[in-house]
Amino acid sequence: MPPGFGDKTLYVIKRYTLYAMRKTYQGSCHCGRVRFEVDADLDHVRVCDCSICRKRGALIHRIPPSCFRLLTPIEDLSLYQWHTMVAKDYFCPTCGILPFRRPRTTEDVWGINVRCLDRVELSSIPTRQIYGSRLD
C-alpha cells in the first residue's frame, strides 16, 4: 500500500477514485450490559430470509475476528443454537438483544448487528439479500 493511505483501501473504477474507509464503531445491546467495538467499512448489510432472521430483523455486516473487540466477558452472554448447532447467536440475558453472531456458513467471521452500533445512519447503507431459507 502506498505511504499515507493508512486504513484506506484504494479502488480505481473508470475515472473515479473511491476510498473504502474502515471506521471504529462502538456497539451495545439495548440495556448496555453487552458492549463491543468493531472496525468496519459499512459498505452493505445483509438481510437474510431464514426463519430466525425474518423474525429478529437484524441487519448483519460480517467482519474478521481481528476487527471485533468484545468489552463484556462472553460468559455474561446467552447463547442460542439450533438445527446444525454450528451457528452461535449471542444475546444479552437482560434485554434479549442479539448484538452479534457467529454464522453457520463462515465460522471465521463475526456477524455484527449493525442496528446495535452507535451513530450509524442505517438508511444510507445498501442492503444485500441473503437466502438462508435455501440452506438445508
Cα distance between residue 105 and residue 132, in whole Å: 10
> In this structure, is residue 18 part of a structural domain?
no
Cα distance between residue 64 and residue 105, in whole Å: 14
> In this structure, is residue 3 part of a structural domain?
no
Residue 31: which domain range? Answer: 26-134
Q: Which of 99, 124, 122 is closest to 30 using CA atoms?
A: 99
> In this structure, is residue 9 part of a structural domain?
no
Cα distance between residue 26 and residue 38, in whole Å: 7
Q: What is the DSSP letter of 116?
A: G
Which residue in the block uniquely carries the three cell numbers 439450533? 82
Supply angle C-alpha 8, 9, 13, rounded to 5: 130
Q: Which residue has the higher pLDDT, 86 or 107?
A: 86
Q: How many independent structural domains does the chain possess?
A: 1
Instruction: Give 25-35 pLDDT, tens digit per residue.
Output: 999 999 999 99
> Cα–Cα distances in Å, from 124 out to 14, 43, 54, 63?
23, 9, 21, 19
Q: Output the domain CATH number for residue 45.
A: 2.170.150.70
Amino acid in the structure at residue 125:
I
Read off the pLDDT of each residue in 33-46 and give the average, rounded to a whole number: 97
Burial class of residue 124 (count of CB atoms within 10 Å of its CB; 0-12, 13-18, 19+): exposed
Q: Give yes or no for residue 14 having a pLDDT over 70.
A: no
Read off the pLDDT of each residue in 94-115 and give the average, rounded to a whole number: 93
> In this structure, is residue 95 part of a structural domain?
yes
> Helix-strand-coil percent breakdown of the chain, rounded to 5?
15, 40, 45
> In this structure, is residue 66 part of a structural domain?
yes
Q: Give yes or no for residue 136 having a pLDDT over 70.
A: no
> In this structure, is residue 7 part of a structural domain?
no
Read off the pLDDT of each residue in 4-22 and give the average, rounded to a whole number: 49
Read off the pLDDT of each residue in 14-19 and give the average, rounded to a whole number: 42
Q: Which residue has the higher pLDDT, 51 or 10?
A: 51
> In this structure, is residue 108 part of a structural domain?
yes
